[in-house]
Amino acid sequence: MLGEVLKASSLRVSLPEAPPVTVLLLQRYMADGMPLAGAPGPAPPQAGAPCPAQAAPCPSYFYDMTVTDGIFWEKCHLDPQLNGLIHQNKLGCGMQVKIAQCSYVYNEKRLGRGFLCIEQLEVLEGPAFTDAPPQLKVCHVKSTLPLKGGKKHYLPLWNNDDPCGDMWVEKTPLREVSVDEFKLTSLFHLAMTWETRINFQPLLVRIIHKSRLRYYGKPKTKLDVPYQAYFDVADHSGMVLMVLWGSLCPEWYHSMKIGTVLLLEKYAVKKSLSSKTQSSPGDLQMKRFCSIEIALNVRDPPAKINIIPENKIKPEWKLPEVEYQFITRSELDELAQNHFCDIIGLVQYVGRIERKRKKGCVDDFWTYRWVHVIDGTSEQPFIVELFATSQPDIFEQIHPMTYLVCTQMRVERNISENGSNTVYLTTSLKSQIFITGWHKGQPYTKDPKVKNFIQWMKTQEEASYMDRSIIGGYYLLPPLPDTFLEYCKNIKEELALIAISETEKEIDSLHYREQKRIAFQGIISAIRCVSCSSTSQDASGVRPMQIKKRSSVCTSVSETDHINKGRRKYQQAGESASKQKSPPLEQRNIVTRSCTKRQIATVEATDHHPVPSQHSYLTRAASKKRMLRKFLQDNSHAKKESKEVMETAQTYETGNKEIADGFKEVHTQRMCHNSWESVLWTAVKDNLTQHLNFSNVFPESFPCKFNYIHKEFLMKQYNLQAAKFKPKERPTSGEMNHFESACPLEYYEVAILGINHDVAIEVALLHDSYLFQVKDTPQNAVFSHVSGTSSCQETINQEGFSELLSLSDEDVKAAALENQRVVCILDICSLDKDKTEVFLRKIYKITDVNVVNQT
């Protein structure tokens, strides 16, 4: 490949017959914000090829991709117009791709070799590469630095908060130093005299708190390592903020642990400008010097840092010990909003890692997950919202049945107008987390409440807690406010409402595992219960299909795209799609969402493929397949309902992106007879200009019971896609049967009609499970399953409809909802590729004049 590119006159070559290669590594780094000097421009379109897309703004990040053909490996640059494949996890490690077009790029401002730039590629949709690669030879590029631009380091693939790469030193070598040889100063003296001095005497301090890393790089900044980290350090006279800057972060961050004693020979003192970096006011009984901060940098002056080994720390130095504020779960209910505390407990539930877009950012995200922790002092667990704390080795290894310690957590109290109360903990800037295997040597091991918890656990039977351990699933807490006015006050987004027709755009814009909440006006028009049985979770890569239906708007694709033979082609220029008016109702096309949001397969509904029509609401413009394949074992309650449900008829098989010529049998999906449909829906549903369907529920949305045998596999499933290829551990289909359901495999389909009666969307409503019940929260009691009964056994009628949708006013009846405008709140999350989770979270009545005026 390299030889062909170098021989080409334009340094660009098309490779129609290139053999597939495997992706070994994906690396992300900050873009320079300007085109590389000497880089060739985009290739002109060939005859019959799609037109080039409009020029995109300068990307925030670049990606390098290392690939192998099984003999050699090569690091290549990915053209920025292909970044979306990584954003949506359509291109990942272990996948096989065909490079269709590439170019060779030189940097005219540097002497040396250039690099390959991949401009077009095909992602093969077959099973990902799972075997360990053999010993490979380097083909061309050996550099460990980013290929394009002048950046000196790589970033984590999915956030900017974690250390990434070999430049982060795990343990800085200690220097022999005698503290007694230095004339030390105190923090108190420093705070009093720093403005009159240029050089400062050495300081001897202990680290009390440690923050996560902060990355402040921008595309046009020239800084090599734009990181900083905050530390609270103290001596016998008080406590002060210390800031570690730039390239000192990779060298010292890992070595500067809580409790570490530092001898600072050279440092700078500055006026403290940020109050956000200060710790909680009541966490320590010592004086805090808030007016100054100690700065450790590579220059002005160059910092000189020494770590004093623990066995050489002397009592006469009078350094304060690290103090904690551990609380028990029984004490949490008495704590005020924003109180800081520490906790220890046994993990009973851990959710998947999700991402939340940072405010005002396009490609920057926070990563977080929800955890439930028990300590034996209350029937209620600690509900913990854990954001990444620059401890990826711990954050990604949290699993049920481990002992979890969280420090510097902040209390969030959710009190609604009706008096319901939900309290949970969230991480702060200086939170740290530790799990089993990381507790040894930590200062908190001496704390009395930590010792009490350990003693209590020794008296417990592990098996009783193992049966209740859960992992994954859509998370329903904390509850939303009772009124839309209160909801508007709490949200940080500037736009409270969107048009119902914009929901598809919002969903399509999601990045991998991005979680978002949207609100729009609509009319609840129909509802039905769906019960899925005879399923077990499938680890072999079978992915449920999600259907997108439209009545008069559909995307046309070429004939060759209808059957794509298990692969998709992505081009630098992008793919264009034209919209056209659909044929009459009796010949209406069914538009099925495939693994690519831009490429869809169109199947014409004819008399050869009848669709069941036993319910007015069950009648669809197309037969829809629910592929909750091999998800969980049969639930006993589902078997008892066998006489009350009907089987879905034959469906179109679209697995592996191929439209089959006939119908294939799928696992039974049961539709409860209980359903409701408004008169308005019956009149308008066949005459809509746009009808979107996002009502499928994927296996990842249901929590499952934790299985220690498959611990590593389950953690990989609910962590983010790895940036580096590792051989996958795949349980056999027989072993997967041990993954038991943690809640009934049932959900509700809700049809929401736009207030202009021209657009409709169907979404899912996943009832709350007893696993996530919270005391004093009426909203969470709507779908209680303490006895294990099935929600589908409830009758969906006019009297119970308001309760079913968790309306704030429980006295509202379905008759009152006929033609009534409500505000619908949706939770949307891109699970993987085109698997998008869309749930109706809550609906609000539009009754408050202030709400109408505000929106």
Report, as an integer, the average pLDDT of 519-531: 92
109 vs 462, residue with greater confidence: 462
pLDDT over 90, % of the chain = 50
**450 C-beta neighbours (distance < 10 Å), count:** 19
Q: List, in sequence order, the alpha helices (H) in 697-744.
A: 711-718, 733-736
Whether omega before 400 lies within 30 degrees of 0, making that bond cis, reads: no
pLDDT over 70, % of the chain = 67
Of 209-223, 327-341, 411-425, 638-652, the one with minimum mean pLDDT is 638-652
Q: Quote the pLDDT of residue 756.
A: 95
Q: How far apart are CA 623 and CA 294, in angstroms?
A: 66
**Residue 186 CB-density burial (10 A; 0-12 exposed, 13-18 middle, 19+ buried):** middle
What are residue 646's DSSP bridge partners? 671
Report, as an integer, the average pLDDT of 356-365: 91
230-257 residue pLDDT tens: 999 999 999 999 999 999 999 999 999 9
Report, as an integer, the average pLDDT of 817-839: 90
Q: Quote the pLDDT of residue 402.
A: 97
404-418, 422-436, 838-852: which has the highest mean pLDDT?
422-436
Q: How far apart are CA 27 and CA 216, in angstroms?
A: 18
Whether omega before 478 lies within 30 degrees of 0, making that bond cis, reads: yes
Q: How far apart are CA 710 and CA 466, in angstroms?
A: 14
pLDDT over 70 (residue 515): yes
pLDDT over 80 (residue 676): yes
pLDDT over 50 (residue 785): no
189-210 residue pLDDT tens: 999 999 888 889 999 999 999 9
Q: How confident is the model at residue 598 (pLDDT cuts 50, 70, 90)?
A: very low
**55 C-beta neighbours (distance < 10 Å), count:** 8
810 vs 794, residue with greater confidence: 794
175-193 residue pLDDT tens: 888 898 899 999 999 999 9
Q: How confident is the model at residue 286 (pLDDT cuts 50, 70, 90)?
A: confident
β-pairing verdict for 288-296 and 238-245 = parallel
Phi, psi of 806, rounded to the nearest 5 degrees: 55, 45
Contact partners, residue 277, CB within 8 Å, separation at least 6? 211, 230, 241, 429
Residues 205 and 318 sit within 8 Å (Cβ to Cβ): no
Q: How far apart are CA 206 and CA 355, in angstroms?
A: 34
Q: Which two tokens stand for residue 686?
A: 């066949």
Q: Quote the pLDDT of residue 613.
A: 32
* Residue position matching structure tokens 């990826």: 392
Mean pLDDT of the chain: 76
Instruction: Report helix, strand or coil for 705.
Output: strand
- B/e letters for 138-168, b = 16+ CB within 10 Å, e = fewer, are ebbbeeeebbbbebebbbbbbbbbbbbeeeb
Report, as an integer, the average pLDDT of 564-578: 40
Q: How far apart are CA 230 and CA 431, in angstroms?
A: 11
* Residue position matching structure tokens 């669709």: 611
Kindly provide the residue ranges of all beta strands, DSSP E only, lying in 736-798, ordered along the sequence. Answer: 746-753, 759-765
pLDDT over 90 (residue 58): no
Q: Quote the pLDDT of residue 3.
A: 59
106-131 residue pLDDT tens: 877 777 788 999 999 999 986 656 66
pLDDT over 50 (residue 542): no
CA torsion, ordered 248, 251, 252, 254, to nearest 10 deg:
130
Q: Which two tokens stand for residue 814?
A: 């379905």
Q: How far apart are CA 593 and CA 448, in angstroms?
A: 56
Q: Quote the pLDDT of residue 630.
A: 35
291-346 residue pLDDT tens: 999 999 999 899 999 999 999 999 999 999 999 999 999 999 999 999 999 999 99
Q: List, in sequence order, the alpha helices (H) in 648-785.
A: 679-684, 711-718, 733-736
Expressed in angstroms, the distance from the first to the final Cα of the chain is 57
Report, as an integer, the average pLDDT of 544-572: 37
* Residue position matching structure tokens 């992602």: 123
pLDDT over 60 (residue 687): yes
Q: Which two tokens stand for residue 432?
A: 């740290």
Q: With CA atoms as reference, report the closest residue to 235 among 263, 269, 265, 201.
A: 263
pLDDT over 60 (residue 464): yes
pLDDT over 90 (residue 803): no
Contact partners, residue 393, CB within 8 Å, separation at least 6? none
Q: How far apart are CA 748 and CA 527, in angstroms?
A: 7
3-state secondary structure 500-540: HHHHHHHHHCCCCCEEEEEEEEEEEEEEEEEEECCCCCCCC
Q: Quote the pLDDT of residue 188.
A: 95
Contact partners, residue 245, CB within 8 Å, separation at least 6? 227, 228, 295, 296, 297, 298
547 vs 188, residue with greater confidence: 188
Q: Quote the pLDDT of residue 275.
A: 61
Q: Which two tokens stand for residue 260?
A: 């570490």
Phi, psi of 359, rounded to the nearest 5 degrees: -60, 130
Of 113-127, 144-158, 202-216, 801-815, the one with minimum mean pLDDT is 801-815
Contact partners, residue 192, CB within 8 Å, separation at least 6? none
Q: How confident is the model at residue 88 (pLDDT cuts 50, 70, 90)?
A: very high
491-509 residue pLDDT tens: 765 568 999 999 999 999 9
- B/e letters for 192-211, b = 16+ CB within 10 Å, e = fewer, are eebeeeeebebbbbbbbbbb
pLDDT over 80 (residue 370): yes
Of 166-170, 594-598, 617-621, 819-823, the one with minimum mean pLDDT is 617-621
Task: Check the CA dihedral 188-194-195-196 and report its sign.
Answer: positive
**510 C-beta neighbours (distance < 10 Å), count:** 21
Residues 840 and 824 sit within 8 Å (Cβ to Cβ): yes
Greatest Cα pair distance, the chain, in angstroms, is 94
